[in-house]
Homo-oligomer: A and B are copies of this chain.
Amino acid sequence: MSTLIDSRTLDFLLYDVLGAEALCARPRFADYSREAFDAVLASARGIATDLYAPHQKANDEQEPRVENGNVVLNAGVKPALDATAEAGLLGATQDGELGGMQLPHMISAAAYALLDAANAGTASYPLLTVGAANLIAACGSTEQKATWLPPMFTGRFTGTMALTEPDAGSSLADLRATAAPQPDGTFHLHGSKIWISAGEHEIAENIVHMVLARIEGAPPGTKGISLFIVPKFLLKSDGSLGKRNGVVLGGLIHKMGWRGTTSTLLNFGEQGPCVGYLVGEPHKGLAYMFHMMNEARISVGRTATGMGHAAYHHAVEYARTRRQGRLPNAKDPLSPPVAIIEHADIRRMLLEALANVDGSLALILECARLVDDEATAPTDAERATATQLLEILTPIAKTYPSLGSQVAISNAMQVMGGYGYAREYPVEQLYRDNRLNQIHEGTNGIQSLDLLGRKVMQQKGAAFLALMARIQATVAEAAGSPLATQAEQLGVALGAWAACTRTLGAAMQADPNRALANANVYMDVAGRVVYAWLWLRMGLAAEGRLPTVENGEMRAFYEGKLAAMRYWFAFELPRIAPDLALLNRLDDTTLTADPAWF
């Protein structure tokens, strides 16, 4: 039994549900085939198993520490990063001419999900490097790309994203870091950034910080923010390392979990000048950074998904082997105890976990597919639709897996009882690690405001309508199938969600504070409906595959997917009803609660 993500599940989602093979027909991916995709995934699984998983626990127990002014990571991190680079995964989706593998994002996301499942603390280093490299590739000058990307793709340099400041938190409008123009065209940065993951370490020769700051005289708010490349070491003209730049460690933050990824306070320009290179045009930094943030938000969901899958597999293995208790109708105390998976409530917890983690994986891979479609779909219209869908699904893909995996991990712990709570077993670490996913890259509350206040409403609801159309198409497809009942249920839910969205849209004009007051509840409805849509697609695919397989294990596999689908429609989707009623009446209980009352 895999303790990462079941390879059958990845195959099922990629090929049976999401049609990954069809991507090979597109010019950008013409060199690929299903076999080539599978080889990449096998390579990632090997690295995850051999180089990530073994120090997952050590990453937690011996967290990064400062020694002689250097941040020392667990010895397992660097070999893992190097292997990831050697496998080409740091430039996985980048153009071949930039040194990338030109792999579809869908396959890359599946590969990274395996690393996440094995050891998220270590996976953050490649993840952030990829994010920073993608940002430079998308927004940097030709020279910047030539300078920074090759060493980032080979893991010689790693990357960070440095947005948050101690006083500003999630409110980027209030960023105060400054950038003073220098005669040579560079800038000198001043300020502090906090919660910077992978902000300081010795596993790479250099660290490339992508930093938001205000050029002196810039307008206030989000319209005056620029993006800079700030390396730990400046480069000589031949590309070799020059002198230390003025970005220095202010301190390490010690977290409840995810300890393998060091979290830092960085000071810029406090001890000597800190040189930064402007990316793109001045004052457009936030728009550029959103490129990385959207990717990072989906990555958060993906990491949560990997953690959830890992916990699910631990719980299933335990539930099959641990024998305890008897069924309600068994009266003989001398009858042997049953494996606890025989208890209905254990299966409820496992089904709830499975329905969440597979739903999350489907959503993450669907989003990755949309990133591919955005750039490579055959027609302009398809590309535009992909962008719209990606816009609206991104906050859901950040939020719902972070919650769903915490449910799955908590259920895994509950299945294992005291053993799940003991540090001798791996589930409690996942419980601590994954909790961060509700917080970082914009809290779930901020994602909910983004979904309802921006993504759903923008362009007269174009993105929302595009998503409706996609879901409706699945409903129509399933209407005549054995899943007609679920199709009808989803159709009704979709209509109710759309009506609620119209009500909130009208309310937004009159009173945005009130219309947005229950954005968190709206997110929950959206997540349940979107997962129902994905489950209906998974159900259809499983129904389609079942008659073709003889193998008992594979039949059980597809039956399991159908059971998880039924679970979602029986237990989870109906829970939108009271929440829609709350949203429709513009409930103002929380809005009108006076701060003095707490």
Contacts and interface: CB of A to CB of B under 8 A. Distances in A.
Given A439-B420, A590-B567, A593-B351, A222 B333 contact: yes
A146 interface: no
A577 B387 CA distance: 37
Interface stretch (A227-235, A294-302, A317-325): A317-325
A24 interface: no
Contacts of A350: 593, 598
Q: How many copies does the complex hold?
A: 2
B590 A339 contact: no
A589 B575 contact: no
Interface in A539-598: 553, 556-557, 559-560, 563, 566-567, 570-571, 574-575, 577-579, 581-582, 587, 589-598
A220 interface: yes
A19 interface: no
Interface string A450-479: 000100000000000000000000000000
A107 interface: no
A513 B556 contact: no
A417 interface: yes
A593 B347 contact: yes
15 contacts: A168-B324, A169-B322, A169-B324, A195-B418, A221-B333, A344-B590, A345-B448, A347-B591, A347-B593, A418-B439, A421-B436, A563-B594, A567-B593, A575-B575, A578-B578
A255 interface: yes
A475 B324 CA distance: 43
Nearest to A331: B221
Given A414-B443, A421-B255, A520-B348, A589 B574 contact: no
A391 interface: no
Given A170-B324, A348-B590, 20 more contacts: A169-B322, A174-B337, A254-B422, A254-B423, A256-B428, A256-B431, A256-B432, A320-B598, A328-B516, A345-B449, A345-B590, A346-B445, A348-B520, A351-B593, A559-B594, A560-B597, A563-B592, A563-B594, A571-B587, A575-B579
Interface in A167-191: 168-171, 173-174
B453 A328 contact: yes
B324 A598 contact: no
A16 interface: no
B253 A347 contact: no
A334 interface: yes
Interface in A397-423: 410, 413-414, 417-418, 420-423
| 6 residue pairs, one from A and one from B, having the closest CB atoms | A221-B333, A560-B597, A574-B578, A256-B428, A344-B517, A348-B590
B595 A341 contact: yes
B575 A256 contact: no
A28 interface: no
Given A256-B428, A589-B351, A595 B328 contact: no
Nearest to A343: B445
Nearest to A448: B345
B439 A414 contact: yes
Contacts of A322: 169
A114 interface: no
Given A256-B431, A328-B513, A421 B445 contact: no
Contacts of A342: 595
A305 interface: no
Contact of A438 (B414, B560, B587): B414
B328 A220 contact: no
A142 B571 CA distance: 54
Contacts of A596: 553, 556
A140 to B, nearest CB: 27
A444 interface: yes
A261 to B, nearest CB: 12
A242 to B, nearest CB: 33
Interface in A353-397: 354
A329 interface: yes
Given A566-B589, A589-B571, A593-B563, A598 B445 contact: no
A348 B448 CA distance: 13
A26 interface: no
Contacts of A253: 418, 422, 424
Contact of A344 (B422, B428, B516): B516
Contacts of A8: none
A445 B516 contact: no
B445 A345 contact: yes
Interface string A263-298: 000000000000000000000000000000000000
A318 B513 CA distance: 22
B341 A598 contact: yes
A325 B442 CA distance: 13
A519 interface: yes
A199 B582 CA distance: 49
A421 B439 CA distance: 8
A252 to B, nearest CB: 10
A598 B316 contact: yes
B563 A589 contact: yes
A499 interface: no
